[in-house]
Structure 1
Amino acid sequence: MAMETFKVKVTGTDRPKAYQAAVRDFKVNFATDSPATVGSHEAILQALGACEAIVMASFKKQQNFTYRDFYYTLEGRKADDSQRLGLDRIGVAVHFNTDENKQKCHEFMEFAENTCPVMDNLTNTVPVKRTGVTVVG
């Protein structure tokens, strides 16, 4: 079985606590305390929503589901006294412009959740292994 590798490079910027993630020719700016950039919790929500949207667009014909348009709203919650570093809860809602009935919409969203790689990584333990540390002079 072939193995596919995905790579991202994250670098610091000239602003304190601001970073840039690069994937191929795409760049996203992140910061811990700036309304002009994306925070790490928001990035998780963006990745999840985008992944499920891609699944829906890719599999709608195969799943015999039609829509004119749709959008996602995602909400991450974190209690002030939470012991977790990540979010305590993620809420996902999809809003369809469709003639399909509510049950079929629910089934299609469930299909997207079960087919989305980001959801899989959020709900199942994925081994994360540090592959190296380099000191640059």
Structure 2
Amino acid sequence: METFKVQVTSTAKPNEYQAAVRDFKVKLAPDSPTAPSSHEAILQALGACEAIVMASFNQQQDFTYRDFYYTLEGIKPADAQRPGMARIGVAVHFDTDESKQKCHDFMTFAENTCPVMDNLTNTVPVKRTGVAVMA
């Protein structure tokens, strides 16, 4: 079993938070020009995860490319009944000599192998493990 841990703390600025994992820190803030929102962080995690899968498995899947990039778009209607996004659109742009069908198949493989996609598309239990009050 593998366990992953992240710590999120407030900062001196109102509505700005810092997420830390190992030696990496990411600033998050809603409606800020200097930090991504939590919705944008989800899109970043999804794009990064699928990119890592592609870079890790392209040879195994007999897929070659010179370069690629992702565009991701999350849609949240103004009158949404829930706080999350209603839809996420993902497009991958390949610089490759592979056929369009092979690109599509490789993208499907990446989506089916990406843990972030799995967590977004399948119900994952989230359980509060504690609440502490600091005096």
TM-score tier, shorter chain, comes to: over 0.9
Structure 1 runs (4+) deviating above 6 angstroms are: none
Structure 1 counterpart of 2:85: 87
Unmatched tracts of structure 2, length 5 or more: none
How much has 1:38 moved relative to structure 2?
0.7
CA RMSD after TM alignment: 0.5
How much has 1:4 moved relative to structure 2?
0.4
- Measured in 1, the distance between the counterparts of 2:6 and 2:110 equals 25
- Measured in 1, the distance between the counterparts of 2:97 and 2:110 equals 19
Unmatched tracts of structure 1, length 5 or more: none
- Measured in 2, the distance between the counterparts of 1:73 and 1:95 equals 8
1:131 aligned to 2:125? no
Structure 2 counterpart of 1:112: 110
How much has 1:114 moved relative to structure 2?
0.3
How much has 1:35 moved relative to structure 2?
1.1
Structure 2 counterpart of 1:55: 53
TM-score of the pair, normalised by structure 1: 0.98
- Measured in 2, the distance between the counterparts of 1:94 and 1:22 equals 28
TM-score of the pair, normalised by structure 2: 0.99
- Measured in 2, the distance between the counterparts of 1:52 and 1:122 equals 13
